[in-house]
Structure 1
């Protein structure tokens, strides 16, 4: 006697769908990893005389250099935890900053916005305007670029701390976005809500902003025998490398 054993045949469409789902997941993961690996740049930006070039020299060359107002981008390498990062010092002059920023932003893994903590109050309008335009950039939003606001020159007695700078910037950015929203609304009322930096109907807050924005403090040496402290910056770079 022959005994026939029957078994339910697998559902072919379900298997095909499952395999396709796995393949698509792998493809998206590889695309994400490739995009992340190609974004190896750290952009040092901010207005003139904030100390960007001195920080650049300490990261890249690990030494003091006499700095002057930059008229072109400075590019160098920084190795951290066996990961190579390309460090780009963006000129702070108003006529140059956006040109060089636009050239490098698509390759940026992180943005370090350097603030002169000593002259911050008198430079507030210029600092906030530049920061507003960077935070509004569609490329950075798409890439979810990491962002650090580095409050520099903390060795100076009258320098404002990072908490104070954060609070003042939030208020100034909130005022600025109201002004810009009204300007946009006067041109096209339909775009007024979508053009607002941050959440519409709520005061601007770094904590609730779409990009991950952190604050840190630093100071650079002002002479060959001086000291410097960029430890918080290095820790942040290690975290995002």
Structure 2
């Protein structure tokens, strides 16, 4: 038994001596060769930078596969949700909770997203946006084009909250502004809606200060909307923004027009 202990001690001493000799040789080489020292520092820096990059890359690769349907009450979100999923007309009522289902995009890749219809009521939309915003690959902001003139302020305020949210700004999901109900005679065009929203958001940015923070800190953040010193335009945002026209149709016999929306979703 004592022999065994002596043998173990000898092995430990040998390992210690080997490391001591190694570190002595490294230290001697560092003292004699400055170039070698620089090489070691560079190598260590590369290792550290690589580790940081890998960590950031892996954390940023969180799969964002949700397409959120958001907008004011009665803008037609739920009918578009049904049309996109089945092509069918469905009688709807004001949503008080979210609905979700797999949606297969009409592209060659066969991309499948989780389509989520969020409630539009102003007392509910903040909590549901908070719940799903981190998973959003795209946000479909549905606007009622027929009564847009009456709702422009409310639409702009909701958009402002959305676009100044720090998570949304950082993830930069594609923003599709779906100018819905184009089958109604008084509907405003996508171009006109874009222009009026830019003006309204520009005014909101001034009156509500540079940042919008909700009291509970859940939605909204300190992100400045657009570029300082310039009138707001959607082209200034960090995400891709597309304004498109569509219609969910009226009744079971009414034709829906969601081709532009489907084409935009196919490009995600």
**TM-score (ref. length: structure 2):** 0.74
Q: Which residue of 1 aligns with 2:195?
A: 167
Q: Which residue of 2 aligns with 1:91?
A: 119
* Contact 1:181/1:196, CA 8 A, preserved across alignment: no
* Contact 1:181/1:195, CA 8 A, preserved across alignment: no
Match for residue 75 of structure 2 among 15, 40, 50: 50
* Contact 2:66/2:115, CA 8 A, preserved across alignment: yes
Q: Cα distance 1:123–1:83, how it changes in 2: closer, same or farther (>3 A)? A: same
Q: Which residue of 1 aligns with 2:16?
A: none
- Rounded Cα–Cα distance in structure 2 between residues aligned with 1:13 and 1:163: 59
User: After TM superposition, which residue ranges in structure 1, 4 or more long, deviate above 6 angstroms?
Assistant: 21-24
Q: Which residue of 1 aligns with 2:88?
A: 63
What does 1:1-241 correspond to in 2, within 5 Å?
13=40, 16=43, 20=47, 28-32=56-60, 34-35=61-62, 38-80=63-105, 81-181=109-209, 196-240=224-268
1:202 is displaced (CA, Å) by: 0.9
* Contact 2:169/2:223, CA 8 A, preserved across alignment: no
**TM-score (ref. length: structure 1):** 0.82
* Count of aligned pairs between the two proteins: 219
Q: Secondary structure at the match of 1:65?
A: coil
Larger C-alpha radius of gyration, 1 or 2? 2
* Contact 1:41/1:85, CA 8 A, preserved across alignment: yes
- Rounded Cα–Cα distance in structure 2 between residues aligned with 1:200 and 1:144: 19
Output the aligned Cα RMSD. 2.4
* Contact 2:226/2:237, CA 8 A, preserved across alignment: yes
1:29 is displaced (CA, Å) by: 4.5
1:225 is displaced (CA, Å) by: 1.3
Q: Deviations over 1:119-175 (max 9, x none)?
A: 000011111111110011100111122111110111112111000000000000011
Q: Secondary structure at the match of 1:75?
A: strand
Q: Secondary structure at the match of 2:126?
A: helix
The gaps in structure 2 that reach 5 residues or longer are: 1-35, 213-221
The gaps in structure 1 that reach 5 residues or longer are: 1-10, 185-193
- Rounded Cα–Cα distance in structure 2 between residues aligned with 1:130 and 1:78: 25
Q: Secondary structure at the match of 2:209?
A: helix
